Chains A and B, each alone.
Chain A
Amino acid sequence: MSKVYDLTVIGSGPAGLSAAIYASRYNLKTLVLGMNQGGTITDAHKVCNYPGLPEISGPVLGEKMKEHAEKYGAEVKMGLVEDIEKEEGNFSLVTNLDEKYFSKKIILATGTKRRKLGLDGEDEFMGSGVSYCATCDGKFFEDKIVGVVGGANSAATAALYLADIAEKVYIIYRRDKLRAVDAWKKEIDKKDNIELIFNANVVDLLGGDSLEQVKLDNGESIDLQGLFIEIGSVPKTDLAKDLGVKLKNEYIDVDSKQRTNLDSIWAAGDITTNSNKFKQAITASAEGAIAANDIHKKIKSSN
């Protein structure tokens, strides 16, 4: 039988990489399998609330976390885990590229994916106007008119990023005021080219080969070339469901030690019911650290 890891973390965002940092410093043989080093934080052009790093770009923070985990011995690999089975007391994990790994314990830290508007044409206009990543696609909208749908922190930071590139940015939000923190609201107030539209939902996407106009449920229409969807996220629980991990309102139900209902499987980060579902890098990191600590104790006590 090939190498057996003490711990395999599925997901390489702040939760997964923090777990790997702690686990490798506990001397556990640790593997991280993920598709995006840094996870959701890589969507943020600026992160200003991670202690010790007053201002850092999301992708750079992700890269630093990965390097940190590797420095202490964790192996961080690209891989999309598709299947997990129990084999002779260990887990076998198979990726989409048919690579196979064995592990004693698992942390599920697969995070979330973007919520879509659910409108006709949304998929067709993706890459021709509709985007879920301002930092990826912002540059294609230089001197153009764009909209951002949503009003929380991710929408606010996307709008600020786009305001420096686009001619005009509309923030379209269903509530009567932004939910983003005051620091971002102040930045938005300073921008002449951001216009807020409250109490409105996008109900129609119109255009030919690319997006040209959106219709709102308040009767207005806005001509624009780009629409960035920032309306939150939904947990990626396919693997958890396959394994029989208990969910609560779509999130993985964990206890204060990040344990799931199943033996040898922990969960950490945006995918769990913990940390008041705050979905921050720092809370995800904390959950990863707590899980790694509990796994270390379990392995030590069984030896």
Chain B
Amino acid sequence: MTKKVTDQNFKEEVLEAENYVLVDFWAGWCSPCKMLGPVIDKMAEEYDEEDLKVRKMNVDENEKTPAQYNVSGIPTILLFKDGEVVHKMVGFKPFKEFKAEVDKKLKEN
């Protein structure tokens, strides 16, 4: 299971991280989010935390961070590097497509 991140530890876990961090903004009542769940779990399994950290944030339990990043549709997936958003994805994508898009961004940045 992918580790959670909250409004409280977002700064430390994501913004101050020295590596890439992928954050999935989701909620239990959103069916595309549920569809993406196994894709996110597989991403977390696939990468070494030193290369890419994968975290999930529940937008029902955490309202500050989604608002700060203007999240108005879920699932939204943000890729962070050095505290900045370097890529944004919205909606479900199958694993291979999802991974290919992330890998491309990891190489570019």
Contact = CB atoms under 8 A, between A and B. Distances in A.
Contact of A127 (B29, B34, B59, B90): B90
B95 A127 contact: no
A126 B30 contact: no
Contact of A140 (B33, B35, B72, B95): B72
Contacts of B92: 35
Interface of B: 27, 29-35, 38, 42, 59, 66, 70-74, 76, 88, 90-92, 94-96
A128 interface: yes
A96 B73 contact: no
B96 to A, nearest CB: 6
Contacts of A135: 29-30
Interface residues of A, number: 29
A42 interface: yes
A222 interface: no
A36 interface: yes
A210 B70 CA distance: 8
A80 to B, nearest CB: 5
Contacts, number: 70
Interface in A119-133: 126-131, 133
Nearest to B34: A36
Contacts of B66: 140
A96 B70 contact: no
A136 interface: yes
A255 B30 CA distance: 35
Nearest to B30: A136
B31 A97 contact: no
**The 3 A-B residue pairs with the shortest CB-CB distance in the complex, in nearest-first order:** A127-B90, A127-B73, A136-B30
B33 A136 contact: yes
Given A35-B35, A97-B42, A129 B72 contact: yes
B32 A136 contact: yes
Given A59-B29, A136-B27, A127 B35 contact: no
A78 interface: yes
Contact of B29 (A131, A136, A141): A136
A75 interface: no
A80 B29 CA distance: 20
Given A38-B31, A78-B35, 10 more contacts: A36-B32, A59-B31, A97-B95, A127-B72, A127-B74, A128-B72, A129-B72, A136-B27, A137-B74, A140-B72
